[in-house]
Chains A and B, each alone.
Chain A
Amino acid sequence: MRPTLPVLTKLVAAAFVAGCASRETPVAIGNREQILHLGNLSEPKDLDPHIVTGVTEQNILSALLEGLVAEDPCDLHPVPATAATWDVSEQGRVYTFYLRREAKWSNGDPVKAQDFVFAFNRILSPGLGAPYAYMLFCLTNAESYYRGQITDFSKVGARALDDHTLELRLTSPVSYFLALLSHQSWFPVHPPTILKWGRMDQIGTPWTRPGNFVGNGPFVLKEWEPGSRIVVRRSDTYWDRDRVRLREVQFWAIGDHQIEERAFRAGQLHVTGTVPIDMLQFYRDRYPERLRLAPYFGTYYYLLNVRRPPLDDVRVRRALALAINREQIVRYITRAGEDPAYNFTPPGVAGYVPRARLTGDPVTARALLAEAGFPGGRGFPKLQLLYNTSEAHERIAQAIQQMWKDNLGITIELVNMEWKVYVAQTQSGKYDLARAGWIGDYPDPNTFLDMWVTGGGNNRTGWSNPLYDSLIREAAREQDPAARLELFQQAEKILMDEVPIIPIYFYRSKALVHPAVKGWFPNLLGRHPLKYVYLELPETGLER
């Protein structure tokens, strides 16, 4: 045993090194064969467009399905997709879509207007329990159908005039209607596939599995390894398939940001879903062309429970809002070049840039607090700030806790909790202050401002202002875009005067992108339609 073991070890090691040294990374293989490896951050709940709500699922569904209208990859303006053209009539209340004749499902069936009607019927069915059914409430009678007040779907404002003509009727004009249509809740589904596995509104059927899934998008579902990756391949029946250059896309469900970054560095991913904050400087210094930071349509803010004194006093709320140094937070803690938020709606969408701003400084804040009866912070109760367990939220909370102590002389206790517990607590109003974030569902200010109407499903502050409510209601009806934006400006002013929520910063999308990826444009919603993406190596060789 004694002489042979060392020799054996050396032989094994030599063979090992020889074999491993010639390893071709998945990214290198992908560059050669037009296979894109995407970090998609989490395992999708399902691939049924009518029951999912997350960005993870949306990324995959946008590859497998296509709605009436899609988004331009650069500036997100609506472009024809399954619908080749459309008319708008009756002052924005009726939209008539003319579907492409060459649009086909992945099994060869033509895409018909009746398929869209079936899909809308499905998502609005009470039996399905779809969380995003309310996205279709702009259609006449859609809400009544969803609530079971009517049971005849032909009364709902979606009608197939013939196989290739779809008429949608709205209760009142919606100026951002075309932008809404690229959301997955408006995607069509293939009726025979749904019905093969159960009733139209049956929960939990296997129609979305590989081999069963039929879609009309640029890619078809090939493999689904749960918890690992999802593989889609270019469709042979998609109407615009000649424009699609990628052969295959693999969505990797790597949840941990550090692990995803290491996978990127090891040459396993072309694009990551995010970048760990601690690695931002590393990439800025060494590989700046791989780091993509862009404004993102989302706001990081704190909720204030206005039902609980002393937060019911607007002076206290303003004091808290003004005593935060947002510049320091984005420079030293979040570090991705975020913009501090002095209002709630991120600017740049539908031409809306909020005028209302939180103006003031710690001196003003102290004066306000004194006026409210807590000079120098004396007598101020020790309130709790809730946030879901995360290092990033903790650092921000600690910084703000310190700022409030230094500037106002008050002590706030930090409480972190697991995600579901945190959501349950904030939803049931059992908190003083809580961290929150909101990402817009569609490119219009309404998705941010309509949150705070009295009794709104996402209004967890208990704040109510009838004037604010009426402004939002009016804006929903207003047809003139300029007048509409003006109504939003007034609403935003009320929001910033009363501060039931304290905006802190506007999100930035962060991604690591391999130089071979082309057709990947930054935009406010972080949407990258894969039909425009392709892989091309630059002239000079890349090591990985």
Chain B
Amino acid sequence: MIPVLWAAITITFLLIRYAPGGPFTEEKNFPEESLQRLNEHYGLTDPLWVQYWRYLGNMLRGNLGPSFKYPNRTVNQIIAETFPVSLELGTQAFLFACISGIVAGLLASLRPNSLWDHTCMAVAMTGICVPSFVLGPILVLIFALGLGWFNAAGWQSPADRILPVVTLGAPYAAYIARLTRGSLLEVLPREYVRTARAKGLSETHVLLRHVLPNALAPVVSFFGPAVAGLLTGSFVVETVFHIPGMGRVFVAAAFNRDYSLILGLVVFYAFLVVLFNTLVDLLLAWLDPRVRMEV
């Protein structure tokens, strides 16, 4: 984990400084003196290795530096403000994707090749194919502008969560539905399921205790990449719905050449991805005793 993080930081550090234009490149020319003063203040006039070393030292002490674009805020503050928003959006989208995906897949698998099954899977296919920057505005058009049920943008009231969460979660719900259905169709005809039913257990008991834990393993493996995608892919949804989350800040930081903010976010994201992959491994172990024994 440490070497990966270190490599990410170093490569990012070098790459952003070689991109044309800097944090103070503006259309209306900065007077020479001002530019010089600002570059000095932010340490950009020091040799590159000095800046690098200083950044690493500060980072290890938990100080990710000031934002170059927003002088009255530090990177730590920006992350503290925006991460909870992205986390809330991502978590709710994830829950929505899991619940609707698993339920849809489950229902489809119980009546394979029926109209219900085909409809579910067709909707799922659309959910996977339609990108969020198309789906989002369509939902806004229908539910916000057409029916007037919601706001078109913003993250103020609880109702503002609904459209973005559906937009972000839709492709994952669709994927999970298809995975669940396929996996269940594979598990349901197995011998031990018939045995369980023969023992006289209720259908619900059979489904929940014997079928789902085995069938959900592929779905849970999908969680790792899904969560990473939900957290990082939220940029599009955050832009479409004007949500003050971290994804949008990340892209803006790149456009603004806000060096410290870009680096701080790279560090943070890299750490998150590694964390979530570890958690998923643990979850898989809990679900599947065979993996547990290996671990």
Contacts of A1 in B (CB 8 A): 204
Q: Which of A46, A53, A130, A263 contacts B70 (CB 8 A)?
A: A46
* Cross-chain contact A204 with B153 (CB below 8 angstroms): no
- B73 within 8 Å of A by Cβ? yes
* Closest 5 pairs between A and B when the two form their complex, measured CB to CB: A420-B21, A129-B37, A227-B244, A266-B152, A20-B149
Contacts of A127 in B (CB 8 A): 37
- B113 within 8 Å of A by Cβ? no
- CB contact list, B127-182 vs A, under 8 A: 137, 140, 144-145, 147-155, 159
* Cross-chain contact A134 with B242 (CB below 8 angstroms): no
* Cross-chain contact B26 with A21 (CB below 8 angstroms): no
- Minimal beta-carbon separation of B162 from chain A (angstroms): 9
Contact-size category for A? 35 or more
Q: Which residue of chain B has the shortest Cβ distance to A441 in the bound complex?
A: B28
- A26 within 8 Å of B by Cβ? yes
- A3 within 8 Å of B by Cβ? no
- CB contact list, A156-212 vs B, under 8 A: 203-209
Q: How far is the CA of A427 from the CA of B22 in the complex (A)?
A: 12
Residues 1-40 of B, flagged 1 when their CB comes within 8 A of A and 0 if not, give: 0000000000000000001111001111111011111100
Among the 9-residue stretches A235-243, A254-262, A349-357, the one with 4 or more Cβ atoms under 8 Å from chain B is: A254-262
Q: Which of B71, B145, B147 contacts A45 (CB 8 A)?
A: B71
- CB contact list, A401-415 vs B, under 8 A: none
* Cross-chain contact B153 with A423 (CB below 8 angstroms): no
Please report B residues at the A interface, Cβ cutoff 8 Å.
Answer: 19-22, 25-31, 33-38, 41, 66, 69-73, 78, 81-82, 137, 140, 144-145, 147-155, 159, 204, 239-245, 248-249, 255-257
* Cross-chain contact A209 with B72 (CB below 8 angstroms): yes
What DSSP secondary structure best describes chain B's contact surface?
Answer: loop
Could you say which of A206, A260, A423 has the most chain B C-beta atoms within 10 Å of its C-beta? A423
Residues 478-489 of A, flagged 1 when their CB comes within 8 A of B and 0 if not, give: 000000000000
Contacts of B29 in A (CB 8 A): 427, 457-458
* Cross-chain contact A263 with B34 (CB below 8 angstroms): no
Q: How far is the CA of A20 from the CA of B28 in the complex (A)?
A: 47
Given A48-B72, A53-B28, the answer on whether A262 and B38 have CB atoms closer than 8 Å is no
- Minimal beta-carbon separation of B142 from chain A (angstroms): 12
* Cross-chain contact A129 with B25 (CB below 8 angstroms): no
* Cross-chain contact A262 with B257 (CB below 8 angstroms): no
* Cross-chain contact A206 with B152 (CB below 8 angstroms): no
Q: How far is the CA of A14 from the CA of B186 in the complex (A)?
A: 37
Q: How far is the CA of A127 from the CA of B37 in the complex (A)?
A: 7
- A495 within 8 Å of B by Cβ? no
Q: How far is the CA of A17 from the CA of B143 in the complex (A)?
A: 11
Q: How far is the CA of A51 from the CA of B38 in the complex (A)?
A: 11
Could you say which of B70, B71, B256 has the most chain A C-beta atoms within 10 Å of its C-beta? B71
Q: How far is the CA of A259 from the CA of B140 in the complex (A)?
A: 10
* Cross-chain contact B152 with A20 (CB below 8 angstroms): no
